Amino acid sequence: MTQTGTVNYHVHKPFRQAFEIDVDGIAGNLIEPEFSSAQIALLDQRNGEATTEFAEDGFAFANSPTGISDFKGGHWQSQYDAELADLLMQEVGAKEVITFDHTVRVDDPEAKRRPARHVHSDYSREGAQKRLVDILGPETANEWAQGHYAFINTWRPIANPINSAPLGFVRPSTVKEADWIIIDLIYPDRKGQVMGLAKDAAHEWIYRSRMTPDEVAFFNIYDNSGRPCVGHSAIDLVEDPTVTTPRQSLESRTLVRY
């Protein structure tokens, strides 16, 4: 049976919108753009309601157990980075993988980082090109830009299977170019961009139910060859109301060269 959930879409405006982060120098003080809540039908990849191919859809799922048992602190990062490199070389054909960011999210009001509940992709073209230089430096970034590179996010549940706020994806073939909105990220000391997604009834939403810590989702957040980037969001959905463990997840941003 098709599951339903709720997401927050971005809204077209006649002016540039922004997230303002740590406003007035106060950590966690956030001003957000306007959202439009929408109920969506979710196709479950686990039970065969939908299939996905990374090359065509920009996202896919894999069984990929990790050797890390505790993601607290930073002692695990080098081992996990090596695991991610092996995964992406095998699954997407990457020749080189650089992992540059890890974010643990917990669905708890007191958590430092909570699941992102707005439909978006992480980089605009300009934002991705700037990030490439930030990571590699101008000379190496120029070398990579002559070939095929991409930013890929790899997402894994940690501690428990996902029972609430699962991560859902919009199949790119159902998204029109006009659905995307450039949204600024304004920090006290720098500025970035994300791509917000506006509501369209044609959007097809896909997720994998009850994902476990042995499973990952991996998805394009920018690809310089024109492969699709993927709108995604945490979904307001509870699989089993008797389960009270909060959603905990680890997202790792990688830069790959093909």
Average predicted confidence (pLDDT) for the chain? 95
pTM for the complete prediction? 0.94
Residue 109 confidence (pLDDT): 84
pLDDT computed for residue 111 by the predictor: 80
More confident residue, 70 or 24: 70
What is 3-257's CATH number?
2.60.120
Percent of the chain with pLDDT over 70: 100
Per residue in 5-25, pLDDT (tens digit) is: 999 999 999 999 999 988 887
Q: What is the model's pLDDT at position 1?
A: 62
pLDDT at 13: 97
**HEC assignment per residue over the chain:** CCEEEEEEEECCCCCCEEEEECHHHCCCCEECCCEEEEEEEEEECCCCCCCCCHHHHCEEEEECCCCCCCCCCCCCHHHHHHHHHHHHHHHHCCCEEEEEEEEEEECCCCCCCCCCCCCEECCCHHHHHHHHHHHHCHHHHHHHHCCCEEEEEEEEECCCCCCECCEEEECHHHCCHHHEEEEEEECCCCEEEEEEEECCCCCCEEECCCCCCCEEEEEEEEECCCCCCCCEEECECECCCCCCCCCEEEEEEEEEEC
Q: Is residue 190 over pLDDT 70?
A: yes
Domain extents in the chain: 3-257
Question: Residue 117: what pLDDT?
Answer: 95
Q: What are the pLDDT digits (tens) for 116-163?
A: 999 999 999 999 999 999 999 999 999 999 999 999 999 999 999 999
Stronger pLDDT, 30 or 183, i.e. the higher one: 183
Q: Give pLDDT, residue 28.
A: 72
Q: Can you tell me the mean pLDDT for 222-230?
A: 95
73, pLDDT greater than 90: no
The pLDDT score that the predictor gives to residue 22 is 85
CA proximity to 112, closest of 30, 25, 16: 30
